[in-house]
Chain A
Amino acid sequence: MIEFTDISKTYRVAKRQAGMKHAVASFFSREYSEIHALQNVSFSIDDGEMVGYIGPNGAGKSTTIKIMCGILTPDAGTCVVNGRIPYRERVRHVREIGVVFGQRSQLWWDVPVMDSFDLIRDIYRVDEALYRKNVAELTELLELGELLKTPVRTLSLGQRMRCEIAASLLHDPKVLFLDEPTIGLDAVSKLAVRAFIRRLNEEKKTTVVLTTHDMQDIEALTERVLLIGRGSILSDGRLEDLKKRIPERKTMVIEYQGAPPALHPKMTQAEHPSDGRMTVRFDPSRLSVSTAIAHFAAHTTLLDVSVSDISTEEMVAKLYQEYRL
């Protein structure tokens, strides 16, 4: 159980204009600007839930994760994870959580992966039998095999990320925080990582909180999505419900013979018709797909029709626009 109540966090950042003159001036007196990374953020996540956390760069995603991990202390509000306040009881708290920061590495660069795993076992005081069982399981699921004997510096990014994820699960955490776990990975590695996370959530009921910019991660993994922008939670709900908030979310492409047909009044043109092709958008709650097809069928010789829903990618871009993020 994760409860986040009215959390605020502000950073103070020194700033100066470019150029020598300002560089010298700032040596003597600094100007600071305040960045409100989080403002009155509240939400709660149940045990065994898998939650996607999205928002543009600098929206406050990592700050939230760091507070939940006990690394940062919020300026106001309270955060309770599994009955503990993370930043007050950091050492006891982190024993029960696993973290992967996609842009950093927790493995020792110059030694084989297995050496890092052994060290993590000792740090978390994982029982030897449990450790062996977990390593065997993770090796199989994430296809680590030979990788474990390889020095980290010689691994590819995808291989390393699989090892990073394994490393954060050696101590059977109840909650797993993934901060951009698929960043920079190729398609195959992404699929492997996603499949693994889903399985982990289903089989071990591990609570997973995931931040990402890859909407396919969200689609593949999470039912519930938290959208954060400029330090506030903008929406909290199912991905499908979020999509419903975009009015014109159906796109229809038709191919026809002869002159371009007239539009139905409840449609808008997305692209100019050319070479017998036309793309239109409409809101399915106001105009049903069948009516739209019937409309064109009545007005022109229809050769082909394809209808698609807005992609999650586009939807998020639209939402960001809507909220002016």
Chain B
Amino acid sequence: MKAEMNVYVSMFRIRFAHNLQYRSAVLGAILKGYLWAMMEVLGYLAIYRTGGGALPMEFSATASYVWAHQSFLVLFSVVFADSEIYSAIRSGAVVYDLARPVGLYGKWFCQSASNRLSFALVNCLPVLLLGAVTPKPYGLILPSVTQLAFFVVSALLAFCVTVAVAMLMYVSLFYFISQRGIRIIVRVVTSFFSGGVIPLLFFPKPLQRVIRVLPFAAMQNMPLQIFCGTIRGTNAAKGIVFQMFWLLILILAGSAAMKTATKKVVSLGG
């Protein structure tokens, strides 16, 4: 078990070193995060001014949601720049991955988690800070300590659920030739139903009842709602159990699917 962890830790290290090489990309991501969040907050402001009191979240809560969303964007994106995994499948270089004494599911899970985590570590804090210094009510309001603790646990789970969904997508790429099409569909569906476009609370009530039980709701929706205070206390705890449930199902499904796919995998040429 310890040796297994060592492998994962070194994979994270190599990813981290890799991402740090691209300084301008990091700077660009910070700038984009800040400007995009500002723009969204102002957009919501316009809606709140004209929409009256009929909206499901307070303006300051929505603003916090937007800031947190932008800060942790990378952690909760199913489709992210996992280029080495995409090209491994496309070019057939996956043969090297299969020639290693580690399970492919664990290796790729760790690889894509490291990818997101190492990128988020360098770019999320600056955006959070920028959000915190932006004046009220446009800025971000830090939650209470209890909520923050709930948030950390929930964010970790959401992060793992996100990667587990990404794993299912990678497995599907063994069967499809066009990766681009799949990536576009997955990106749209996962970000829309996980509250990446607008918070799930803004969805029509009947639709919400369905969406709230889907695995997508176990992704960024949960930690972000905990962060901005629309899910609190017992509900937050229930939410975390819900996330654990989906995480387990997705990992089981993903590793089973991976087993089948690699059995059938055909790597022609070369």
Q: Which A residues form the contact surface with B (CB < 8 A)?
A: 11, 13, 62, 66, 69-73, 90-92, 94-95, 97, 99, 101, 103-106, 108-111, 115-116, 118-119, 122-125, 179
Contacts and interface: CB of A to CB of B under 8 A. Distances in A.
Closest 5 CB pairs of A and B: A122-B10, A95-B101, A106-B96, A103-B270, A71-B98
B228 to A, nearest CB: 37
A209 to B, nearest CB: 14
Given A101-B270, A122-B7, A115 B95 contact: no
Given A62-B270, A94-B99, A115 B14 contact: yes
Interface centre among A91, A95, A105 (most CB of B within 10 A): A91
Nearest to B6: A122
Dominant SS among interface residues on chain A = mixed
Contacts of A119: 10-11, 14
A179 B96 contact: no
Interface of B: 3, 6-7, 9-11, 13-14, 17-18, 21, 84, 91-93, 95-96, 98-103, 263, 265-270
Contacts of B269: 62
Contact of B102 (A71, A99, A103, A123): A123
Contacts, number: 82
B101 A72 contact: no
Contacts of B265: 71-72
Nearest to A168: B99
B14 A104 contact: no
A104 B101 contact: no
Contacts of B3: 125
5 contacts: A71-B98, A91-B103, A104-B96, A106-B96, A110-B18
A99 B96 contact: yes
B99 A104 contact: no
A125 B3 CA distance: 7
Nearest to A96: B101
Contacts of A118: 10, 14
B267 A66 contact: yes
Contacts of A69: 95, 98-99
Given A62-B269, A111-B18, 13 more contacts: A13-B268, A66-B267, A70-B98, A71-B95, A91-B102, A97-B99, A99-B96, A101-B93, A104-B270, A108-B14, A111-B17, A118-B10, A123-B101
Contacts of B99: 69-71, 94, 97, 99
A72 B18 contact: no
Given A110-B18, A125-B3, A94 B270 contact: no
A117 B69 CA distance: 37
Nearest to A167: B96
A282 B220 CA distance: 79
Contacts of B14: 108, 111, 115-116, 118-119
B270 A115 contact: no
Nearest to A87: B263
A118 B14 CA distance: 9
Contacts of B10: 118-119, 122
A124 to B, nearest CB: 6
B265 to A, nearest CB: 8
A104 B88 CA distance: 10
Contacts of B103: 91
B267 A72 contact: yes
Contacts of B17: 111, 115
B18 A108 contact: yes
Contact of A101 (B84, B95, B266): B95
A111 B21 CA distance: 9
Nearest to B88: A104
Contacts of A105: 93, 96
